[in-house]
Structure 1
Amino acid sequence: MTRLWLLLLLAASSTASAIVIRDDVDDAKYRLPASEFPALADMPGEGHGVLIAPQWVVTAAHAVAGQPGLRQVTINGIPRNVERVVVHSGYRSPPPALAEQAMQTWDWTLFVALLSTSDDIALLKLAEPVTDVAPVALHEGEGEFGQIVQIIGKGATADGVSGYGMDASHRTQLRRAYNKVTSAHDRWFCYVFDAPATALPLEGGSGAGDSGGPILIKTGEAWRLAGLTSWTAPHKGTTRVPFGQYGQISCNVRLGHYRAWIEGVMSARSPATTDQ
């Protein structure tokens, strides 16, 4: 993996982790058996996607851009061949020079500005339909603001006090945490990893390696796919602080914004694509 993508994975929630957790709650309470979310697709090494139709996985564009030549993902413990990778034509990868500047100065303003205007979404067409796992339904509507979301991933993990460094593993055990959406508009919805005094009982957030993983919102009795882990705004005011500490803001691809694009690609009607 290139240095740029290492930086992006760390600074942009890889780009987000395997869930960062409260320091006062036992990690065992966050751990999740794989059988509880079999529709999770594991990219080689790090990153995720979600099965949304028998032959289609949705993921973050940067999760596949960092793995050129992607030919296989694992769903429910079984390798599945990828026939086609479709990246949204509005996706923009930050140039290496900008990432290097941000790392040297810890001024992430322009880096985050570029991320926020990019369409960080891609679809994977599998060679064969998945018959042993039920696809996850997409959340309908635009009422994410103020909602409690469920965050799932196997990326880097740490607690909100210590955080994690650049050498943290980007593939750990499956974990689940919850948070409350603090902003939602256009391409994104975001949440803040709050300290225990104001946190949910199983408060948490994404970390490096969680990119493309599911963000779920409950509709009635069912949890539906509302977003994908995308990027995290680094803390300001200090240099090279650990990632994943309390106060971290994580932003997620808002799938409601892309519903027409998703349906168009799956039905071969959408021109707004770039095959990898």
Structure 2
Amino acid sequence: MTRTLLLAALLTVSSAASGIVIRHDVDDAKYRIPASEFPALVDMPGEGHGVLIDPQWVITAAHTIPAHSKLEQIVVNGVSRSVERVVTHPGYKTLPHELIEQAKATGDAMLIVVVLATSDDVALIKLKQPVADVAPVALYKDGKEFGQIAEIVGKGATGNGALGHDPAGPNRTELRHAFNTITSAHDRWLCYVFDEPPAALPLEGVLGNGDSGGPVLIQNEGQRALAGLASWKFVHGHVMTARPGRYGQISCNVRLSHYREWIDGVISGRPQAVVRNER
């Protein structure tokens, strides 16, 4: 029986889930971009990303935040920046340990998918000093993501759609971008499918382990706008043996238009913006 599997490096050594996995028939050099192409990309410690959306604020997937230590530094445009505080969405859920152990024992990760699908995997990071050398990226607020072409950017694990990528890493590689068509957008999530050629876009790709928190960008009036954050993906097969990054897999991303009020409230400091899990 085919099982639906969430593979976001949740069951192994990595805390940051799902550097871009590319088409097998396109030269990797066509996917690579210099850091200057998207300087607002943030490197979290070790792996994972965020995006600068305000001179003093970064947004990321909540699961990229270290669970057992204080986040003190992140890197923006190659420069280490000091963190003042982290605000995690109150609806973020960590995975119960027993579910992880059950999935590892049986290969069935369906209940992990259920938990993650109902979680608000988003966090804001306030920097001690505003960033003066990088322009923040505007949020996409129209809520019309379905059917649009999205650009994804990251330094995580790489491979190609025919073979996938090694789930054991490395999870920080060279900076790449790729494109995909958003196939669903509702409530917390926007998702896309890694299509196999000839149905694929010329530079079609999918997130890899280590890309979590990285941007999903949509063109809005000629400018990139931040529509989502890489979060998790479906992989078919046994949780311990399936290979991520193959054609047909579905990537789900935090849909930021759903969180507009929360984001604006935290950044502005409005009293009605209730937060918890603050580090």
Judge same fold: TM > 0.5, yes or no. yes
Seen in structure 2, the aligned counterparts of structure 1 residues 239 and 49 have a Cα distance that, compared at 3 Å, is closer
What's the secondary structure of 2:112's corresponding residue? helix
- Specify the code of the residue in structure 2 equivalent to 1:161: A
Seen in structure 2, the aligned counterparts of structure 1 residues 9 and 122 have a Cα distance that, compared at 3 Å, is farther
Aligned Cα root-mean-square deviation (Å): 2.0
State how far apart, in whole Å, the 2-side matches of 1:15 and 1:122 are. 15
Alpha carbons 2:72, 2:83 under 8 Å: kept:
yes
What's the secondary structure of 2:124's corresponding residue? strand
Q: Percent identity?
A: 58
Tell me by how many angstroms 1:9 deviates. Answer: 7.4
Q: Which runs of 4 or more aligned residues in structure 1 lie more than 6 Å from their structure 2 counterparts after TM superposition?
A: 9-13
Unaligned 5+ segments in structure 1 are none
Describe the superposition over 1:60-89 as per-residue Cα deviations: whole angstroms up to 9, x where unpaired.
000114463110000011000000011011
- Specify the code of the residue in structure 2 equivalent to 1:190: C
* 1:265 alignment partner in structure 2: 266
Seen in structure 2, the aligned counterparts of structure 1 residues 134 and 244 have a Cα distance that, compared at 3 Å, is same
Alpha carbons 1:60, 1:253 under 8 Å: kept:
yes
- Specify the code of the residue in structure 1 equivalent to 2:266: V
State how far apart, in whole Å, the 1-side matches of 2:268 and 2:120 are. 20
State how far apart, in whole Å, the 1-side matches of 2:101 and 2:29 are. 37
Describe the superposition over 1:128-159 as per-residue Cα deviations: whole angstroms up to 9, x where unpaired.
00000000000121111111000000000010
State how far apart, in whole Å, the 2-side matches of 1:255 and 1:10 are. 28
> Structure 2 length as normaliser, TM-score?
0.92
State how far apart, in whole Å, the 2-side matches of 1:6 and 1:101 are. 16
* 1:116 alignment partner in structure 2: 117
Tell me by how many angstroms 1:239 deviates. Answer: 6.0
> Structure 1 length as normaliser, TM-score?
0.93
Map 1:194-213; keep pairs closer than 5 Å.
194-213=195-214
Count residues in correspondence. Answer: 271
Tell me by how many angstroms 1:12 deviates. Answer: 10
* 2:40 alignment partner in structure 1: 39
Map 1:133-172; keep pairs closer than 5 Å.
133-172=134-173
Tell me by how many angstroms 1:106 deviates. Answer: 2.0
Alpha carbons 1:13, 1:232 under 8 Å: kept:
no
Tell me by how many angstroms 1:103 deviates. Answer: 2.4
What's the secondary structure of 2:174's corresponding residue? coil
Tell me by how many angstroms 1:10 deviates. Answer: 7.0
- Specify the code of the residue in structure 1 equivalent to 2:274: P
- Specify the code of the residue in structure 1 equivalent to 2:39: P
Structure (1 or 2) with the greater helix fraction: 1
Tell me by how many angstroms 1:233 deviates. Answer: 1.2
Tell me by how many angstroms 1:104 deviates. Answer: 2.5
Describe the superposition over 1:8-36 as per-residue Cα deviations: whole angstroms up to 9, x where unpaired.
177999411x1110000000000010001
State how far apart, in whole Å, the 1-side matches of 2:121 and 2:244 are. 21
Structure 1 stretch 250-259 or stretch 265-274: which is displaced more?
265-274
Q: Determine whether 1:51 maps to 2:43.
A: no
Tell me by how many angstroms 1:273 deviates. Answer: 3.3
Alpha carbons 1:34, 1:174 under 8 Å: kept:
yes
Unaligned 5+ segments in structure 2 are 1-6
